[in-house]
Structures are given as structure tokens and as C-alpha cells.
Chain A
Amino acid sequence: KNEVEQSPQNLTAQEGEFITINCSYSVGISALHWLQQHPGGGIVSLFMLSSGKKKHGRLIATINIQEKHSSLHITASHPRDSAVYICAVTGAGSYQLTFGKGTKLSVIP
């Protein structure tokens, strides 16, 4: 069973700061997802990665397959980025997603 660990669990940042959220997993995967969940809201998919790096607006996601590690970066953070960010992986040969517990981000004006 894949174990997915995220760090930090909670993060408070000042508006404009560069933010990094980390995700490590224990077993080989076919894909890794970064998801965003707002309080009381649904889950939105941000990225799906199997290698390398992806960028969308102020969000950048990277993955290192050999080290079984991924990072989500937010540049020029804004209060509207405040949410829970969840890392999830699809194990090789499986359909199921294994989720991390999430990182709660609060961006203060």
C-alpha cells in the first residue's frame, strides 16, 4: 500500500510570499495529482504529473520519480490561495488514488 506524506500540515504565509508544499510517497506510481480544496467547497484538480515539471499561472508542480517526491510551488501568494492542498498518487497497476492528509494554507493580507 502506498503511503503518502505531505509537509507541512499547516502553513501560514504573508501575501506575496513564495510557498512550497511537499509530498513524498513510498511505492512506485503511474501518476501524481495535486488537488485544491476550499473550505466547504469541492475538490479541484490542479495538476497531474508523471514526470518533470508543469506550470499553470502562479502554480508550479515538480516531480522526482527516483526520489519519490513532488513539490507544489505558489509564487506571489494571494489570500484567495488559502485552501487545503492535497497530493494523491495512482499506484502502478492500480486504478485507485491514495491521498495525503493535505496541507492547510492560509495566506494573510
Chain B
Amino acid sequence: DTGVSQDPRHKITKRGQNVTFRCDPISEHNRLYWYRQTLGQGPEFLTYFQNEAQLEKSRLLSDRFSAERPKGSFSTLEIQRTEQGDSAMYLCAATVPGREKLFFGSGTQLSVL
């Protein structure tokens, strides 16, 4: 158990629908990352939060993607008007400054039909 929970584990949606994923780290994890992974590839960075502040956002992220971390605890990633190319595993990771390891959630597998 890494202490990072993601919900849902799987999401199937139709093209054009909006989807929202949630990541719950433990309270000490003030740094939170979102990544996307497609089959056979390494994860790609999407965005980074330190507490509630979104400090970095990948240029890969179109304006259909938005992430929030209200109160610096859980985080949500929303994709609007989903496209088939959005199908991927969405991973959340968290860590504490000074700690060496990143803690990953199990991911949300999104399939856009």
C-alpha cells in the first residue's frame, strides 16, 4: 500500500463526454503529480502541485484538461470533450520534500469509445 488512492480504477466513456478522476494522497504528501501512460510507453508528465498551488503544467496538456487540488489534499483531473486519443492510464504520484521515494497510485484506466 503506497498510501495514494485513485478512483475510479477503470472508466469507459463515449467520445465527447467529460470525465473526472480523483487522487487521494496521505496528508503528509504535499507534492502531487499527474502522469499519463499509454501501452508500451513510459509515463508522461501532465502537471505538478505543491500543496494547493499548481506549479507546473505540461505543454502536452490541451485546454480540455484541468486539474485542481483544493486545500492541498486530494486532487482531481478533468478531461472535457474526451477524444479517443485520451485513452490511457492516468497515474497520480505523491511525495514529501526530503523523502526519497515517489508513491504512485494504481492509476485510472480510461477508455474512450
Give the number of chain B interface residues (Cβ < 8 Å). Answer: 25
* Chain A at the B interface: SS class: strand
Give the number of chain A interface residues (Cβ < 8 Å). Answer: 21
* Interface bits A30-50 vs B (CB < 8 Å: 1, else 0): 000101000001111101100
CA distance A32 to B55 in the complex (A): 20
CA distance A33 to B93 in the complex (A): 13
Q: Determine whether B43 belongs to the interface, using a CB cutoff of 8 Å to chain A.
A: yes
CA distance A35 to B33 in the complex (A): 15
Q: Determine whether A66 belongs to the interface, using a CB cutoff of 8 Å to chain B.
A: no
* Contacting residue for B104 out of A43, A94, A98, CB 8 A: A43
Q: Determine whether B45 belongs to the interface, using a CB cutoff of 8 Å to chain A.
A: yes
* Interface bits A53-84 vs B (CB < 8 Å: 1, else 0): 00000000000000000000000000000000
Q: Are B107 and A42 in contact (CB under 8 A)?
A: yes
Q: Could you name 30 residue pairs across A and B whose Cβ atoms are closer than 8 Å?
A: A33-B102, A42-B105, A42-B106, A43-B91, A43-B93, A43-B104, A44-B104, A45-B100, A45-B101, A45-B102, A45-B103, A86-B42, A86-B43, A88-B43, A95-B50, A95-B55, A95-B56, A96-B33, A96-B45, A96-B48, A97-B43, A97-B102, A99-B35, A99-B42, A99-B43, A99-B44, A99-B45, A101-B40, A101-B41, A102-B41
Task: Please report B residues at the A interface, Cβ cutoff 8 Å.
Answer: 2, 31, 33, 35, 40-45, 48, 50, 55-56, 58, 91, 93, 100-107
A4-B42, A45-B104, A98-B45 are known; give 11 further A-B pairs, CB within 8 A: A35-B104, A42-B91, A42-B107, A45-B100, A48-B101, A95-B50, A95-B56, A96-B33, A96-B48, A99-B44, A102-B42
Closest 3 CB pairs of A and B: A99-B42, A45-B101, A96-B45
